Amino acid sequence: MRQTVLYIEDNFDNMVLVRRAIEAIGYGWLGAANGLEGLRIAHELKPDLILLDINLPDVDGYEIARRLRKSEEPHLRRVPILAITANVLRGDAQKALQAGCDAYLSKPLNIHELWARIGELLARDRWGGKLQNPAAVDGGDDGYSYLAGLQCSRCGDAYSPDEVQTYCARCNAPLVAAYSLNELQHKLDRDTISRRRGSMWRWHELLPVRSPRHVVSLGEGDTPTLPLARLGSALGFDRLYLKDESLSPTGSFKARGLSAAVSKAKELGVHKAIIPTAGNAGGALAAYASRAGMQACIFMPQDTPAANLIESRITGAQVVLVEGLISDAAKQAGEKSRSETGWFDFSTFKEPYRLEGKKVMGYEIAEAFDWQLPDVILYPTGGGTGLVGIWKAIEELAALDWLETSARPRMIAVQAAGCAPVVQAVENGEPFCEFWEGAKTEASGLRVPKSFADRLILDTIAQSGGTAVAVSDEAIFQAQNRLAKEEGVFAAPEGAATLAGLLELQKRSLVQKDERILLLNTGSGLKYIETIRDALA
Ligand SMILES: Cc1ncc(COP(=O)(O)O)c(C=O)c1O
Ligand SMILES: [Zn+2]
């Protein structure tokens, strides 16, 4: 069927010019000379694409885009909108995107650019986003996500996922997302997801974003699971593996969490992002905020690795260097988000959706091991989103009946000896962590004196029959060297800590030779150049 383009424009000359251009490439044509007429025609004739002049005499283009995006009619919530903005006012373009337009062109119009943009938007609509955004896959709004609600992880109170949420103020505890898994089980099977290509967003039914239009992706996810045959045999393990997150956008697994959280925030209308960070989360937020057209402000300790500072600043984020630790950065970020309007705080577990992005590692692990989970997973634990997320994913897969056996991995939290609140709580049998005074380690992501989700971390370890181990910085750097020299993996110190943690488990006979053991390398060593010793000696 011939596709139709609606052009809402009050300038007669532009209208004639664009009409000719549209008809020349074989599309059907509809015109409206003002905003109200445009809205009426859009409702009645459901065009495949809308070209929208922003400066209109009655209702302006932003308002039209907002009304279309809020319409009862699913077609109008999704129809591609190309904003036509005045060339001098750069702010118009950002405002148009925030109002729900998909792209913009500035006047005076260049016909070749116009054709290119129209072709791209129509193809994107037909294929569900492949052209512009590798993440957005098949389907429209209906059935894209099976998100059912948010629940407090302590008291179980329900919160609406269609409003901006933080954490349960009554219990000071994280909110977690729940999905209609029963319904999904009848509509989708695991092989359908395995056949999809793209990014972690191929699991979109199990992610919180309701429309592919809001997905902000840099191609995160689908990192390799590598067998470590040489290192395994040297250490006396038959089946040792490493999932290598160093290939992620921004060089760490933080990309997953921030892709999910920024996408959901964008869907809910957030324009200003704030985050306290040990380093990598700040770099990831900066990148995704920039891609989403959001402003970003990042609070990081002043001794954070230089790569994190540079990657944040180059995106245009405002970076505030804080004297002290991530806990001090969190205080300052919290103050700014409370005292200045519009800033949304993306702190670990203080918003519900970073966890959802991180959990996809759990789905990918199950898939890579043919739906029979490994026996042991070692995870470098700071704030705990990775550890808790993988466990959440396993529970969801079990509820969907997608796992081959009921066996579960033992989840091992690995921490640095200079900051090991989880290890201390496990050893003392406490249900929560004490604040770790004087935290010190070069594995900056592990320098978290107390996680906001300490109870969830400790529950996960207990439910899985796992434990927590602390390793010295010396052991971490030795492990980093071994991974590089024997397997060619240049791991972040946090990732290398999992190998040091495995040696610790071996010493205590807490792991068997023939077990399937998975190490998580959460980031790239390239982001920590200044901490690497001996390599140049
Ligand atoms: C490379 C790396 N690994 C691990 C962690 C700890 O992650 P989580 O907060 O999920 O425990 C961080 C956090 O900054 C990190 O940057
Ligand atoms: Zn609660």
Q: Is the CB of 523 under 6 A from ligand 1?
A: yes
Please choose, from the candidates 178, 431, 199, 447, the residue with its C-alpha nearest in 3D space to the C-alpha of residue 304: 447
- Residue whose CA is closest, atom 6 of ligand 1? 382
- Residue to mutate, 494, 519, 520, 531, ligand 1, most ligand atoms under 8 Å from C-beta: 494
pLDDT of residue 135: 33
The more confidently predicted of residues 407 and 135 is 407
pTM above 0.85, yes or no: no
Residues with CB under 5 A from ligand 2 (ion): 152, 154-155, 157, 168, 170-171
Please choose, from the candidates 503, 482, 494, 501, the residue with its C-alpha nearest in 3D space to the C-alpha of residue 521: 494
**Displacement of CA 380 from its chain's centroid (Å):** 18
CATH architecture of 4-127: 3-Layer(aba) Sandwich (3.40)
pLDDT of residue 123: 67
How far, in Å, CA of 507 to CA of 321, rounded?
40
> What is the CA(159)–ligand 2 centre distance, in A?
10
**Confidence bin at 119 (pLDDT 50/70/90):** confident
Tell me which of 129-143, 220-234, 381-395 is least confident.
Answer: 129-143
Cis peptide before 108 (omega within 30 of 0): yes
> What is the CA(374)–ligand 1 centre distance, in A?
21
Q: Which amino acid is at 274?
A: I
Contact 165, 101 (CB under 8 A): no
Contact 527, 280 (CB under 8 A): yes
Please choose, from the candidates 37, 41, 32, the residue with its C-alpha nearest in 3D space to the C-alpha of residue 12: 32
Please choose, from the candidates 497, 269, 276, the residue with its C-alpha nearest in 3D space to the C-alpha of residue 378: 497
Binning the chain into helix, strand and coil, the percentages to the nearest 5 are 45, 20, 35
Q: Is 293 left (phi over 0), alpha (psi -120 to 50) or beta?
A: left
Q: Is the CB of 380 under 6 A from ligand 1?
A: yes
Q: Which atom of ligand 1 is nearest to the CA of 492?
A: 1
Q: Is residue 349 classed exposed, middle or buried when 0-12, 13-18 and 19+ CB atoms within 10 A define those classes?
A: buried
Tell me which of 98-107, 154-163, 339-348 is least confident.
Answer: 98-107
Residue 491 carries which DSSP code? B
Segment 159-188 shows an average pLDDT of 94
Say yes or no: do domains 4-127 and 225-250+355-531 share a fold. yes
How far, in Å, CA of 447 to CA of 420, rounded?
9
Q: Is the CB of 498 under 6 A from ligand 1?
A: no
pLDDT over 70 for what percent of the chain?
95
> What is the CA(230)–ligand 2 centre distance, in A?
48
Kindly list the domain boundaries of the chain, sorted by start residue. 4-127, 225-250+355-531
- Residue whose CA is closest, atom 7 of ligand 1? 382
> What is the CA(363)–ligand 1 centre distance, in A?
19
535: its two tokens? 């390599």
With b for 16 or more beta-carbon neighbours within 10 A and e for fewer, the 433-452 pattern comes to beebeebebbbbbbbbbbbb
- Residue to mutate, 253, 299, 308, 458, ligand 1, most ligand atoms under 8 Å from C-beta: 253
**Displacement of CA 6 from its chain's centroid (Å):** 35
**Displacement of CA 483 from its chain's centroid (Å):** 27
210 pLDDT higher than 90: yes
What's the whole-number average pLDDT of the chain? 92
**Confidence bin at 341 (pLDDT 50/70/90):** confident
> What is the CA(297)–ligand 1 centre distance, in A?
19
Ligand nearest to the CA of 382: 1
> What is the CA(254)–ligand 2 centre distance, in A?
26
How far, in Å, CA of 422 to CA of 319, rounded?
29
Q: Is the CB of 419 under 6 A from ligand 1?
A: no
- Residue whose CA is closest, atom 12 of ligand 1? 445
How far, in Å, CA of 353 to CA of 125, rounded?
26
Q: Which atom of ligand 1 is nearest to the CA of 278?
A: 14
Question: What is the tens place of the pLDDT at every residue in 345-359?
Answer: 999 999 999 999 999
Q: Which residue has 């750097």 as its token pair?
A: 477
**Displacement of CA 520 from its chain's centroid (Å):** 18
Question: What is the tens place of the pLDDT at every residue in 460-476?
Answer: 999 999 999 999 999 99
451 pLDDT higher than 80: yes
pLDDT of residue 132: 30
pLDDT of residue 360: 98
Q: Is the CB of 257 under 6 A from ligand 1?
A: no
Q: Which fold has domain 225-250+355-531?
A: Rossmann fold (3.40.50)
Q: Which atom of ligand 1 is nearest to the CA of 281?
A: 14
- Residue whose CA is closest, atom 5 of ligand 1? 445
pLDDT of residue 534: 59
Q: Which atom of ligand 1 is nearest to the CA of 523?
A: 1
Segment 269-275 shows an average pLDDT of 95
Q: Is the CB of 355 under 6 A from ligand 1?
A: no
- Residue to mutate, 446, 457, 476, ligand 1, most ligand atoms under 8 Å from C-beta: 446
Contact 181, 399 (CB under 8 A): yes
179: its two tokens? 């999905």
Ligand nearest to the CA of 419: 1
What count of other Cβ atoms lies within 10 Å of the Cβ of residue 529? 11
DSSP 467-479: EEEEE-HHHHHHH
> What is the CA(393)–ligand 1 centre distance, in A?
18
Q: Is the CB of 384 under 6 A from ligand 1?
A: yes
257: its two tokens? 């969490």
